Amino acid sequence: MSAISRVGEYTLLMKRACALPDRWSMFFRQYTREIVNLGIDSILIDIIISIFIGAAITIQTKSNMSNPLLPKYVTGLAVRDCLLLEFSSSVMCVILAGKVGSSIASEIGSMKISEQIDALDIMGVNSANYLILPKIMAMITVIPSLIIISAASGIVGGFMIAEFTDIISLHEYVYGIQYSFNPFFITYSIIKGLVFAFIISSVSSYFGYSVKGGAREVGHASTQAVVNSSVIILVSNLLLTKVLL
Amino acid sequence: MIEVQHISKSFHDGIKVLDDVSTYFETGKTNLIIGQSGSGKTVLMKSVVGIHTVDAGSILYDGRDITKMKDNEKKHMHREIGMLFQGSALFDSLTVLENVMFPLEMFSKAPKDEIQQRARECLERVDLTRAIDLYPSEISGGMQKRAAIARAIVLNPKYLFCDEPNSGLDPKTSLMIDRLIQEITHEYNITTVINTHDMNSVMEIGENIVFIYKGVKEWQGNKDEIYETGCQPLEDLVFASNLYKKIKEAHFALRK
C-alpha cells in the first residue's frame, strides 16, 4: 500500500476516532483503564532508564569537560539541559513508542483478527472511537507527568554520582543544576511530549486497526507501529525544535 | 423478514463472489445459508449484515433498505441486530457477565442494577449462570458460544445472525447450540440467519435453507425438501458422507 493511501486511511480513522463518545460513562471507564495501562505502568521503566541515563550523562560530561577554563558548574548545567531539552521528552517518547506503541497495536490487532471489532460495529458502536480515543486522551494526560518524572529521575541519577563517587563534587553539581535555569524549557519539553503522545497512540492504533490476517500480521503491525511512530517522532522533534526554540 | 434482491459483490481482484443473488429470510424461523467453503456464503451474510457494501441490489429489513441507509441510520439499525461470530468474539478484558452487560451499558439508560438483572436473565436462558465471573479465556468453546448468544439477545434483537455457530464444537455441544438458537428464534420471534456447512444443523434446524454455489443461489427450501432438490451440487454437499447417503436411502425406502 502506498504512503499516500496510508495517510488517507489514517486521517479517516482519526476522524472516526475523534468524534464525541457514544456514552461518556463508558469513555471514562476506558480512559481510566488506559491511564493505568499506558501511563502508570510505564512509570517504573521511565524512572529506571532516566536514573541511569542521568548518571551516565554526568560521568561523560565531566570526563569530556576537563578544560580548566570551563566553569565547574557546567556538568550539572549540561545534565539538566540535556534531560529537559532532549532526553526526557524526545528520547523517552521514542522508548515509550516501543513499550506503549507495541502494546496498543497488538491489543487492537488481536481484537481485529478475533472479530471483536466487527462485534462492536455490528452492535452499532463506533469501534474506532470506543477503542482509540481513550488511548489518545490517556497518553496526552499522562505524558507531562512522565516527562517531569523522567527529568527529575535523571537529575537524581547525576546526584547519586556526585554523592557516591569522586567524579564531581555535590556542590558543583547542585550549583550547575540551578544555574541560569530557564522555565520555558519545561514548557517546551511538555509541548513536544503532548505532540509525541498523540503520535504514539494514534499511529500505533492505526497499525493495529488495519491488521488483516492472523497472529503473524499482528506481530508485523506491532513492529510497524513502533518503527513508524519512532521515525515520525524524530522528524517532528526536529521541526518542533526549530519552531519552538 | 429480510429480503435480498439481486445483490452482487466483487472484491479488488474483480472476481464476482456474489452474482445476482435474490432470496428471503423468514421471521420466527431458523434460516440457513449453506454452501461449500469459498462458495460465497460468508460474504452473503456479511453483506446482509452490512459489514460488506454490495455493488448492486437491495437488502430490505422489514421493508427498510440497508443499502440506501446513511451511516447514522445504519448504526441505529444495527442495534436491532444480534450477531454470533464464528470465534464468539467475546471481549477478552471483560468477564462473561460484563460482556453480556456491555450492549446494555452502551445503549440503555437503565440503572446498573436493572442492567445486571437483564444480563443475568439472558445468561440463565443459555444456562451459563455458573460462569458469570469468569473471563472468556477461562471457559470452554461451547460456553463461549452460549455467552455470545446471551450477549446477542440481551437487547431483544429483531434479527439474529450466526456465523458458523458449531465450528470447533463436539457433536453434542453443537446440537445443544443449534437447539438453543432455534428455541430463542421461536420464543422471541426473531429472524435468525445461520451460516453453516454442518449437515447436522441442516437436518436439525433447517426451516428455510438457502444453498449458495459459486456465488449464485442455486436452491431454497426446507430440510424436508432437501432429499429431492434436483440440484446436483447441493446433493453432492449434503449427501457427501456415507452416513447421509444411508439416511437418504432410508428416507426413500420409508416413502415406498
Considering only CB atoms, A119 lies closest to which of B79, B85, B107, namely B85
Residue of A200, A85, A192 whose CA lies nearest to A144: A192
Q: From chain B, pick out residues whose CB is under 8 angstroms from the CB of A34.
A: none
Answer yes or no: are the C-beta atoms of B211 and B220 closer than 8 Å. Answer: yes
Residue A157 grid coordinates: 541519577
Of chain A, the end-to-end C-alpha distance in Å amounts to: 37
Alpha carbon B239 to chain centroid, angstroms:
22
Tell me the three cell numbers of residue A2: 502506498
Query: Which residue, among A177, A185, A179, has the nearest Cα to A241 in the 3D structure?
Result: A185
Cell numbers for B92, please give them: 477478552
> What are the pLDDT tens digits along chain B (256 aa)?
999 999 999 987 778 899 999 999 999 999 999 988 888 888 999 999 888 889 999 999 999 999 888 888 888 888 889 999 888 899 998 999 999 999 999 888 889 999 999 999 989 888 888 889 999 999 988 899 889 989 998 988 999 999 988 887 888 888 888 888 998 899 889 999 999 888 888 888 889 999 999 989 988 988 888 888 788 888 888 887 788 778 877 877 877 7
Q: Measured between CB atoms, which of A23, A26, A118 is closest to B85?
A: A118
Residue A154 vs residues A7, A47, A55, A86, A161: alpha-carbon distances, Å:
36, 8, 7, 12, 11
Q: Search chain A and give the residue with CA nearest B106.
A: A23
To test the contact with chain B by mutation, choose from A104, A107, A108, A122 the residue with the greatest count of B C-beta atoms within 10 A, namely A122
CB pairs under 8 A between A and B: 50
CA distances (Å), origin A117, targets A111, A141, B229: 6, 25, 39
pLDDT the model gives residue A14: 96
Using CA atoms, how far apart are residues B138 and B134, in angstroms rounded to an integer? 6
Q: How many CA atoms lie within 13 A of A58 on its CB side?
A: 32
**φ, ψ for residue B21, nearest 5 deg:** -90, 125
Contacts of A110 in chain B (CB under 8 A): 92
- B88 grid coordinates: 464468539
| Separation of alpha carbons B131 and B95, rounded Å | 9
User: Which of A24, A28, A107, A114 would best serve as a mutation to test chain B binding (most B beta carbons within 10 A)?
Assistant: A114
For residue A26, list chain B residues with Cβ-Cβ distance below 8 A: 105-106
In this prediction, residue A124 carries a pLDDT of 85
Q: What is the pLDDT of residues A108-143, one digit of tens each?
A: 999 999 999 999 988 888 999 999 999 999 999 999
Chain A hits for B83, Cβ within 8 Å = 119, 122
**Are B33 and B163 in contact, with CB atoms under 8 Å apart?**
no
Nearest CA in chain B to A112: B89
Q: Please, are residues B152 and B160 in contact by the beta-carbon 8 Å criterion? A: yes
A182 dihedral zone (left: phi>0; alpha: psi -120 to 50; beta):
beta
pLDDT at B203: 86
pLDDT of residue A86: 94
State whether B78 and A22 contact (CB < 8 Å). no
Give me the sign of the Cα torsion angle B214, B217, B222, B226: negative
Look at residue B38 in the predicted model and tell me its pLDDT.
85
Q: How far is CA A72 from CA A64, A175, A178, A208, in A?
A: 12, 9, 13, 50
Verify whether the Cβ–Cβ distance A115 to B107 is below 8 Å.
no
Q: Reading across the β-sheet that carries B2-10, which strands appear in turn?
A: B16-25, B2-10, B56-61, B64-65
B89 vs A125: CB contact, 8 Å cut-off? no
Is the pLDDT assigned to residue A1 strictly greater than 80? no
Other CB atoms within 10 A of residue B173 CB: 17
- On whether the CB atoms of residues B33 and B80 are closer than 8 A, the answer is no
Single-letter residue type at A84: L
Which residues of chain B make contact with A124, given a CB cutoff of 8 A? 75-79, 107
Q: How confident is the model over A167-171, as a mean pLDDT?
A: 92
What is the chain B residue with the closest CA to A120? B103
Task: Give the nearest partner residue to B81 out of A114, A122, A125, using CB atoms.
Answer: A122
- Give the whole-angstrom CA distance, residue B121 versus residue B156: 12
User: Which residue numbers of A have CB closer than 8 Å to B's CBs?
Assistant: 22-23, 25-26, 110-111, 114-116, 118-119, 121-126
Q: Cβ contact (<8 Å) for A121 and B78?
A: yes
The Cα–Cα gap between A50 and B30 comes to 62
Torsion of CA B94, B99, B103, B104, to 10 degrees: -100
Integer Cα distance of B85 and B80 in angstroms: 16
**Beta-bridge partner residues of B84:** B162
What pLDDT, on the 0 to 100 scale, is given for residue A109?
96
Burial of A90 (0-12, 13-18, 19+ CB in 10 A): buried
Whether A125 and B91 lie within 8 Å, measured CB to CB: no
As a whole number of angstroms, the distance between CA A210 and CA A218 comes to: 10
Q: Residue A70's pLDDT is what?
A: 87
Residues 6 or more apart in contact with residue A164 via CB below 8 angstroms: none
Assess contact for A115 and B85: CB atoms under 8 A. Answer: yes
B117, amino acid identity: Q
Contact B22, B5 (CB under 8 A): yes
Residue B244 one-letter amino acid: Y
Shortest Cα–Cα distance, B226 to chain A (Å) = 32
Q: What is the pLDDT of residues A27-79, one digit of tens each?
A: 999 999 999 999 999 999 999 999 999 999 999 999 988 788 888 889 999 99
CA distance B198 to chain A (A): 21
Q: Report the b/e string of B134-147 with b at 16+ CB within 10 A.
A: ebbeebeebbbbbb
pLDDT, chain A, mean: 94
Q: Cβ of A123 and B78 within 8 Å?
A: yes
Q: Which of A114, A122, A126 sits opposite B87 (nearest CB)?
A: A114
Provide ipTM, 2 decimals: 0.82
Closest-approach residue (CA) in chain A for B50:
A122
